[in-house]
Structure 1
Amino acid sequence: MIRSVGGVRMCCLRLPYTAETLLLKPSALTFRRRRPFATSCSASAAAKKDKNEKVIVVSGPTGAGKSRLALELAKRLNGEIISADSVQVYQGLDVGSAKPTLSERQEVPHHLIDILHPSEEYSVGQFFEDARQATRDILKAGHVPIVTGGTGLYLRWFIYGKPDVPKASPEITSEVYLELAELQRNDEWEAAVQLVIKSGDPSAQFLAANDWYRLRRRLEIIKSSGSPPSAFQVPYDHFREQSDSHTAECSLGIKSSADGIQGCKSKDLDYEFICFFLSSQRLDLYRSIDFRCEDMLSGADGILSEARWLLDLGLLPNTNSATRAIGYRQAMEYLLKCREQGGWSSTSDFYAFLSEFQKASRNFAKRQMTWFRNEHIYHWINASRPLETVLSFICDAYHQQAGNLTVPESLTMKKDISNTREASELKVYRTKNRQFIRREDCSDILDWIRRTQGQPAESIC
């Protein structure tokens, strides 16, 4: 079932898993090839190939409409989409990740979707390898790579490259696993962090709690190289240092620092990246996110059903990449509480969960905007502008010769809060639900919890 929330397309799919396939892990990733699509953008088929092949990147905060924009771009530019979403890689996590529908994936080839079982980890380094390989395959087929998603670190490494950190040998991987295994079994996170700090990586203290995968990886790097991860140069940092040194000489004749940095240094990258960040006024974005969270809870196959599936697999919230994801973590914690209460939930418990889900989603969008505000290669586009206008501008930008790109004022989205009125309204922002307002509005969900999470209770209050 497909819904539209504030211009954002939502997908609610049935989980395509049976009891026999719950624990099945994909062994290989296959990239599908399809016949070229017709393009409605004016471009000569015999146009001279640029020195660097072009790659379009479309990002934005959750709920901004970037997936819809990328899909329409792919139709017009004979493109294929590479997902840069850290949750869409997982099978079965469809609703909470706003995964493209099956029909959309049949219409336009998508890559890096449904490639892992939720019990598996997926690193930014693996994404870099997979996404770059997909890019090469798409270009080789004569199509346009369109990378879309909101996972900032994925996109940063994809564009600038990954650090040259040594890969651990099987022996070191096994040694590290055994060294931390008992601490993980006993839930002694702080003790494990101190072990890694004493081994030579003081920055381990800043890891998110219970991020055992990244903690193990840090210890592997230390044992493999004798140095912590921070000792290895990050290509993005090197690029920024070079860009800063050129800012003065590039500043004449440009319209913004973003254009200057992009124009001065994009030639140093592996591809000609044309990057856009789609966003809207913060208040409008927050309302859209709140409505979107409500939609994800509607119907029998919503995010609660997917969270139940994760729990039935034996996974616990906040223990790996899939269960740390916004929405899934809150839903799993809520269902665990319901199970502890014999499959019972009060309306106040449900509304507390919904409020936490919405708040976490808004905070995530805020963090995304803060992250990309410092990514100067992106051109900020106002998501409230007509889709056709935005599509035409990006198509023209793709077909024009290499050089600085200027976004028209009518399409530009300001990176910061533009006026005091908006700032004041944000301070007093309160969620106004559209579907879940009264006590009886959540009765279907509470009934579902009674049926699936424990023995029926005599009453619900």
Structure 2
Amino acid sequence: MQKLIAVLGPTAVGKTDTAIFLAEKFNGELISADSVQVYKGLDIISGKDLPAGRQGLPVSSKFKLQKKDGPYSIGYYLFEHILIYLLDVVKPSYSFNVSDFIAFGQKFLEQILEKEKLPIIVGGTGFYVKGLLDGIDTSPVPIDENLRNKLKNFDVLSLQKFLLKENKKKFDSMNNSDRNNPRRLIRAIEIASKIKNFKLASPAGRLKIKNDERKEYDILMIGLKCEREELKKRIDSRVDKRLKLGAIDEAKVLFKNYEKLSEQVKNANGYRQLFEYLKNEVSLDRAIQKWKIAEYHYSKNQMTWFDADRRIQWFDIGKKDFRKNLVKEVHAWYNKDI
């Protein structure tokens, strides 16, 4: 059975650094699972900067375009000698979603395995990782721009009521984080609407990646964590670093075409708060404070999501010999049944 690794965890915990480290040790290549880093021009605020001790941003290295496919740019960045895929895939105006990620993620998995290398999925967007590894029944449901335009000004409570009316079972199955996430609520309403109108839930019409159509992999899921207060310090440091690297200038460039930006970009952490500053809704100091607070909340929601997956083996990055123990675990798994 072909093997792959997933490196998961909250924002600022050092996932990319660890994934590159493992790729160097085990002849791997990376697939980024980040719902914001897929966008071109979202470089500094989204965290496409390389880990500590590595120089420059991905945009300062050469992007190798493999092919152009409609709105998608398919290729990779070369970090030293490690390839990483699914960065800079679409323009900020495109509404990238989990079905896009699954489609390209599967292609890159096959491509990496054909080269007899180890695929390493790295990122904090748990929904994307789950979609790629486990499949999601409703991921091929197309975007309904008319419905999204209708719902975009609804507050969270109104969206919750709308979804309860459309599909109470779906609402009841959502965790607290998703119930209070406008984008997740709108997507759930979108899916519920399609099922209701086109009866996609029937055996003949259900949109599903069936288990017998999916390849089986031997998956090692690695979770990185640290103490809560330490993570907050890491988040603060990272936000401050990105401000020094030019986060405000990056936001200003995107803000020039604000009306054309996708909702994902408008509401992404860092961008949303700096856009509020550029709209003169808050001071710069307040925008920065709100950015950091949003990252704290996001990291907590990420841990709630990942804690529900019992397959994940957790490693505390603050522990002595963390990497030594990690390599030992990966080595035992990697050489099993070879």
TM-score (normalised: structure 1) = 0.57
Partner in structure 2 of residue 256 of structure 1: none
1:27-57, Cα deviation, whole Å (9 max, x unpaired): xxxxxxxxxxxxxxxxxxxxxxxxx100011
- Match of 2:299, as an amino acid? A
Unaligned runs of 5+ in 1: 1-51, 239-267, 339-344, 404-461
**Larger CA Rg, structure 1 vs 2:** 1
Partner in structure 2 of residue 433 of structure 1: none
Partner in structure 2 of residue 131 of structure 1: 105
Provide the C-alpha distance between the structure 2 equivalents of 1:364 and 1:309, rounded to a whole number of angstroms.
Answer: 25
Deviation, 1:215, is: 4.0
Deviation, 1:227, is: 4.8
Deviation, 1:107, is: 2.5
The answer (yes or no) to whether the contact 2:201–2:207 under 8 Å persists in 1 is: no
**Are 1:289 and 2:249 matched, yes or no?**
no
Deviation, 1:145, is: 0.2
Report matched runs for 1:214-293 at 5 Å: 215-225=189-199, 227=201, 270-293=216-239
Residue 269 (structure 2) aligned to one of 326, 337, 346: 326
The answer (yes or no) to whether the contact 1:60–1:149 under 8 Å persists in 2 is: yes
Provide the C-alpha distance between the structure 2 equivalents of 1:94 and 1:159, rounded to a whole number of angstroms.
Answer: 26
**CA pair 79-193 structure 1, distance change in 2 beyond 3 A:** same
Deviation, 1:371, is: 1.5
The answer (yes or no) to whether the contact 2:31–2:84 under 8 Å persists in 1 is: yes
Provide the C-alpha distance between the structure 2 equivalents of 1:273 and 1:120, rounded to a whole number of angstroms.
Answer: 31
Residue 120 (structure 1) aligned to one of 63, 86, 94: 94
Provide the C-alpha distance between the structure 1 equivalents of 2:106 and 2:149, rounded to a whole number of angstroms.
Answer: 37
**Are 1:183 and 2:150 matched, yes or no?**
yes
Partner in structure 1 of residue 44 of structure 2: 95
Matched position secondary structure for 1:337: coil
1:255-297, Cα deviation, whole Å (9 max, x unpaired): xxxxxxxxxxxxx971000110011111111111111111111
Report matched runs for 1:381-460 at 5 Å: 381-385=315-319, 386=321, 388-390=323-325, 392-401=327-336
CA RMSD, Structure 1 to Structure 2 (Å): 3.6
Matched position secondary structure for 1:145: strand
Deviation, 1:351, is: 2.3
Deviation, 1:92, is: 0.9
- Match of 1:183, as an amino acid? K
Partner in structure 1 of residue 84 of structure 2: 110
Structure with greater strand share of residues: 2
Residue 135 (structure 2) aligned to one of 147, 157, 161: 161
**CA pair 312-224 structure 1, distance change in 2 beyond 3 A:** same
Matched position secondary structure for 2:136: coil
1:208-247, Cα deviation, whole Å (9 max, x unpaired): 336656544442333222659xx979999x9xxxxxxxxx
Residue 306 (structure 1) aligned to one of 227, 250, 253: 250
1:402-457, Cα deviation, whole Å (9 max, x unpaired): 59xxxxxxxxxxxxxxxxxxxxxxxxxxxxxxxxxxxxxxxxxxxxxxxxxxxxxx
Unaligned runs of 5+ in 2: 51-56, 62-77, 173-178
The answer (yes or no) to whether the contact 1:316–1:332 under 8 Å persists in 2 is: no
- Match of 2:301, as an amino acid? R
The answer (yes or no) to whether the contact 1:56–1:147 under 8 Å persists in 2 is: yes
Deviation, 1:167, is: 4.5
The answer (yes or no) to whether the contact 1:59–1:149 under 8 Å persists in 2 is: yes
Provide the C-alpha distance between the structure 2 equivalents of 1:53 and 1:326, rounded to a whole number of angstroms.
Answer: 36
**Are 1:201 and 2:167 matched, yes or no?**
yes
Provide the C-alpha distance between the structure 1 equivalents of 2:298 and 2:148, rounded to a whole number of angstroms.
Answer: 31
Provide the C-alpha distance between the structure 2 equivalents of 1:87 and 1:119, rounded to a whole number of angstroms.
Answer: 12
Provide the C-alpha distance between the structure 2 equivalents of 1:305 and 1:360, rounded to a whole number of angstroms.
Answer: 20
Provide the C-alpha distance between the structure 1 equivalents of 2:156 and 2:46, rounded to a whole number of angstroms.
Answer: 31
Partner in structure 2 of residue 257 of structure 1: none
Deviation, 1:163, is: 1.2
Provide the C-alpha distance between the structure 1 equivalents of 2:183 and 2:17, rounded to a whole number of angstroms.
Answer: 34
Q: How many residues align?
A: 300
TM-score (normalised: structure 2) = 0.76
Q: Which region of structure 1 is more displaced relative to structure 2, 135-144 or 378-387?
A: 378-387
The answer (yes or no) to whether the contact 2:163–2:189 under 8 Å persists in 1 is: no
**Larger RCO, structures 1/2 (Cα 8 Å, 6+ apart):** 2
- Match of 2:298, as an amino acid? F
Provide the C-alpha distance between the structure 1 equivalents of 2:31 and 2:301, rounded to a whole number of angstroms.
Answer: 22
Residue 145 (structure 1) aligned to one of 94, 116, 119: 119
Partner in structure 2 of residue 74 of structure 1: 23
- Match of 1:273, as an amino acid? I
Deviation, 1:396, is: 1.2
1:341-393, Cα deviation, whole Å (9 max, x unpaired): xxxx8xxx332222211111111111111211111111001112446514532
**CA pair 83-181 structure 1, distance change in 2 beyond 3 A:** closer
- Match of 2:251, as an amino acid? A
Matched position secondary structure for 1:61: coil
Partner in structure 2 of residue 253 of structure 1: none
Deviation, 1:80, is: 0.7
Deviation, 1:156, is: 1.5
The answer (yes or no) to whether the contact 1:165–1:232 under 8 Å persists in 2 is: no
**CA pair 194-226 structure 1, distance change in 2 beyond 3 A:** farther
The answer (yes or no) to whether the contact 1:55–1:274 under 8 Å persists in 2 is: yes
Deviation, 1:309, is: 2.1
